[in-house]
Amino acid sequence: METSIMKLYKNPDKNTWETLSTRAQLDKTQLNDTVTTILNEVKENKDAALYKYAELFDKVKLKTLEVTQSETENANNVISEELKKAIELAKDNIERFHSSQREEPTIIETTKGVQCWRKSVGIEKVGLYIPGGTAPLFSTILMLGIPAKVAGCKEIVLCTPPDSEGNVHPAILYTANLVGITKICKVGGAQAIAAMTYGTETVPQVYKIFGPGNQFVTKAKELVQQQGVAIDMPAGPSEVLVIADETANPSFVAADLLSQAEHGTDSQVILVTNDVTVIEKVNLELEKQLNALPRKEIAAKALENSRTMFFSSVEECVEFSNVYAPEHLIIASENAEAFIDKITNAGSVFLGNYSCESAGDYASGTNHTLPTYGYAKNYSGVSLDSFVKKITFQKLSKEGIQNIGNAIELMAAAEGLQAHKNAVTIRLNTINNLI
């Protein structure tokens, strides 16, 4: 047990669990000031500021900010037929799962003559941010674009950074076109969030912004939320917690930990187990699999911020997981379903030895845009609900206002709101022919 590749904690006292649940702390010196400056400049100078920042941050002098039709068509020719089929399979599953979340209005008669119901209406204008750096996340377009279309959002704007040649990754363009996004802009970083918040000559203003990003993007989303634009959720670096018992497959567990660790150096992976031999076997697999990864250095750095936790029982493992509140929770056990009712805090849960996190990241159908940094305690992952507003309706007949009118009058009077009372009294008097 002492040879754990990640720092090992044995039966830690519950008083230390909160501390052990802390994520990697980023150096945020001057981050707020830097992002505020970018936001203000884009608000003031619009497209001119976006061209400037593309040259400064992306090292490219762009001729236009919007992706052209010919660029999209070219991407379609570049992508292999095999990848196209894989993306289409994922699209079908994601569409099927999110379409099932539609709610038909149900009229409830709360009192005779009083009808109440709720209707879901798509947010008219939404913005999607898609990272395009070391890992161009075209899969996130499926996760955000599909529910936006299912919800009936009228305008879907996508911003993603260009490469040093001024191009957008062809898989991003192909996927965006496949799901029906027509406005794609070559804008990255905090400046993209600013552009979608304030609007520029090229980038339309939106009402809600979705998508992951680096610390500059995250900070920008945090700041613009205070200015009236909605965001999907607060976010930090990606993470996974794996609960593994004696029935787990160590090579599977190691692969799951590394699949998360390769996201970035600030990602965090946690192994929680009640079996000593699992730790030893997983460590051997980690070393073997890590050496074969192209992103080995990134994954290795992430493992430095990661932990192995040993508890005497699986119940304690689950209890610790609820305190940690992971973005992704894998229960690597043949008995995984027995713990479903005990899970209270997690973004998305993967049950059993064959439910790898990669399935949810790409093609099982669930959404991979999930709360990180412990926000799973009070936030849900993205779903169809994220792209709609719920508008309530009510309709009162003469009988309805008579049935609840007196109660309204009494309550309004008790609160000292005479006009509220009068709005009812006048109607009741009219019905009773007293006016």
Q: How many CB atoms neighbour CB 155 within 10 A?
A: 17
Which neighbouring-strand residues pair with 103? none
Instruction: Tell me the residue ranges of DSSP E strands in 151-238.
Output: 155-160, 183-186, 208-210, 230-231
Contacts of 146 (CB under 8 A, 6+ apart): 91, 94, 95, 98, 179
Instruction: Tell me the residue ranges of DSSP E strands in 30-153.
Output: 108-111, 114-122, 125-129
Q: Report yes or no: 272 and 241 within 8 Å, Cβ to Cβ.
A: yes
DSSP label at 66?
B
210-245 burial code (b ≥16 CB/10 A, e <16): bbbbbbbbbbbbebbbeeebbbbbbbbbbbbbbbbb
Q: How many CB atoms neighbour CB 106 within 10 A?
A: 8
Q: Among the options 328, 337, 399, 409, which is catalytic?
A: 328
Q: Among the options 239, 262, 285, 327, which is catalytic?
A: 327
Helix (H) / strand (E) containing 396:
strand 388-396
Is residue 153 helix, strand or coil? Answer: coil
| The length of the chain, given as a count of residues | 435
Q: For this structure, is 328 an active site residue?
A: yes
Which neighbouring-strand residues pair with 210? 128
Q: Report yes or no: 250 and 284 within 8 Å, Cβ to Cβ.
A: yes
Please classify residue 114 by burial: count the beta carbons closer than 10 Å to its beta carbon, then call 0-12 exposed, 13-18 middle and 19+ buried.
middle
In 3D space, the residue among 329, 284, 307, 342 whose CA is nearest the CA of residue 6 turns out to be: 307
The token pair at 429 is 């008097």
Tokens 């802009």 appear where?
Answer: 185
DSSP label at 382?
P
How far, rounded to the nearest angstrom, does the alpha carbon of residue 169 sit from its chain's CA centroid? 22
Contacts of 420 (CB under 8 A, 6+ apart): 408, 412
Separation between Cα atoms, residue 303 and residue 308, nearest integer Å: 10
Q: Report yes or no: 36 and 226 within 8 Å, Cβ to Cβ.
A: no
Q: Which residues are identified as catalytic?
A: 327-328
